Structure 1
Amino acid sequence: MRAPTSTSRTSVESKSQGHARRVRAVPAVTRAIAILRLLGSSASPLGLKAIAQTLDLVPSTCLHILRALVEEKLAKVNPYSKRYSLDVGMLPLGRAVLRNSSFATLVQPELDRLSKRYGLTAIGVEMLALEYMVVVALSRSPALLGLHVDVGSRFPALISASGRCVAAFGNHPWKKIEQRFRSLRWDNAPKLGVWRKEVESAKRKGYSIDRSNYINGIAIIAAPVLDANQHMAQGIVLLGLAEQINNSAAISIARDMRAAAETVAKQMYSH
């Protein structure tokens, strides 16, 4: 018999109206969610064996769940390779989340203002722990048409300027941060010691600037949107050509972004 996994816990405790309430997990649902998350995080389609082994599922159970997901158009299977990936049925769900996101609604005017003022592409991102960040709002600059970014795009949570902000304000143990850092892919990777000093600088200043580390020739500036506990849940990011943004201009832009992030944070978390 397999040991219980995080996808098959029988119950969790939660608080509701001042009373302890037991919420019973439904194994089929939690396993289906785990499969969808795995497919979403994979760079390529996965076979049944890989999915079952990664999630510690009985292969026959895994197959039944995959068939149900395929039937609902949430996943698809290549008839030749027998490998699974997400299907178009996920798109309406994602659009509904973004449509109802208060952050996306509140940050959009700030993104439009920043993009117009500085001629840069401005994006609003939401963090998913140390896994990745998701673009939920966007204001494009014609100058960066060659750089592919769109609503729904995902990036490693600790990458670039926004990643330094996550490390500074995410309230994550440094040991886990360091483990994640070692797996990041940069065009010009900073050494861990240098990067940690940059994280500490982001903590002091309330913003971070990445110049050609993540993407060669691209300057990326980020400011965190902090919740009531001063932890980062969202962020504002601007991207532009590094040769067109000198150091003093980058600092001026970053301070404007920090003020914009504070404005959004007050609207979201000061109630």
Structure 2
Amino acid sequence: MTSLSALPQHKARAGIQSVEVGFALLEVLSQAHGPLMLRDLAAAAAMSAAKAHRYLVSFQRLGLVVQDPTTARYELGPATLRLGLATLSRLDVVKMARERLPTFLQASGHTLALAVWGNHGPTIVHWQESARAPSVNLRLGDVMPLLSSATGRCFLAFGPRGGRADRSAPLLEAELSLARKQGRSDVPTSAALVRAMVHETQERGYGWVRNVLLPGMSGVCAPVFDANGQMALGVLSMGVTASFDIDLQAQRLLAMTRQLSADLGGSHT
């Protein structure tokens, strides 16, 4: 008799292996730069051409794959587009990011926040403070300035053009006017300096400030892009300047936001 201790603790759920095998063909097509010949598609999926052809016949019937009658090359079909759009429509980028913050918080040790573009500019929608960091006087719903915050600089550099950019114009002009009146030297005070700041932010791939918005505090904000190439979210990391390594925090943050973008069907350019 087999003892209880000899039984496997976790039994894998039964599935249909042929479905899993056939999916390799769809995966290859999704990563290809264009339609593929049968032999190339089969080789990339590590199966014989005859075996691949049988799967492709079924996939064509389902609309998952189409074949060009002229070139005989295979490409993803309309059913895959419908599935992809349905998946994207159900994605909640804020929820996805919130679920990943605890792991990132443990690795970074600094306070984190999520921001989206609201009616009045970049708006904090989630805040997660590090136990090791000092309390910061920011609240949910706070609108971050475009010129003096890492979040604002990130949205200014990567935010979508068109309607959102039009709404940012009066906000930017008001901040420029105030900065000139105050004689500030730590933020741009002219359109030319704003363009230079935006260019640097785009080159780096993230917005950052050191002792600008809050004395003794530094921050980094990286963008998350959706499938349309639009900035959907900003992820902010901030901490005491003396212990906040901007370059290190930026690289950690970019690894997270790039993965989020990929999961949304977007990418960092």
1:127 shift after superposition = 1.1
- CA offset digits 1:39-95 (Å, max 9, x no partner): xxxxxxxxxxxxxxxxxxxxxxxxxxxxxxxxxxxxxxxxxxxxxxxxxxxxxxxxx
Residue 159 (structure 1) shift: 4.1
Aligned to 2:262: 266
Please give the residue correspondences for 1:106-185 in structure 2 after superposition, counting only pairs within 5 Å.
106-128=96-118, 131-170=120-159, 171=161, 172=165, 176=170, 178-182=172-176
Q: CA deviation at 1:147?
A: 0.9
The one-letter amino acid paired with 2:94 is: A
Residue 156 of structure 1 aligns to a residue whose secondary structure is coil
Which protein has the larger Cα radius of gyration, Structure 1 or Structure 2? 2
Greater displacement, 188-197 / 213-222: 188-197
Contact 1:107–1:264, Cα closer than 8 Å, also in 2: yes
Shift of 1:128: 2.0
Matching residue of 1:200:
199
Aligned equivalents of 2:132 and 2:103: distance in 1?
A: 16
TM normalised by structure 2 equals: 0.53
Q: Distance in 2 between matches of 1:175 and 1:107?
A: 28
The code of the aligned residue for 2:142 comes to S
Deviation of the 1:126 alpha carbon: 1.0
> Whose strand proportion is higher, 1 or 2?
1
Q: What TM-score do the two structures reach when normalised by structure 1? A: 0.53
Contact 1:226 1:234 in 2 (8 A): yes
**What amino acid does structure 2 have at the position aligned with 1:190?**
V
CA deviation after TM superposition for structure 1 residue 119, in Å: 1.1
Q: Deviation per CA, 1:195-237, whole angstroms, max 9, x where unpaired?
A: 5322211112211220011111100111011223433231000
Classify the secondary structure of the residue corresponding to 2:239.
strand
**Distance in 2 between residues matched to 1:183 and 1:220, nearest whole Å:** 24
How many residues were matched structurally?
167
Contiguous gaps of at least 5 residues in structure 1: 1-99
Cα deviation digits, residues 160-195 of structure 1 (max 9, x gap)? 111111111112269656414325679974133545
Task: Note the residue ranges of structure 2 that are not aligned, 5 or more in a row.
Answer: 1-89
Identical pairs, percent? 22
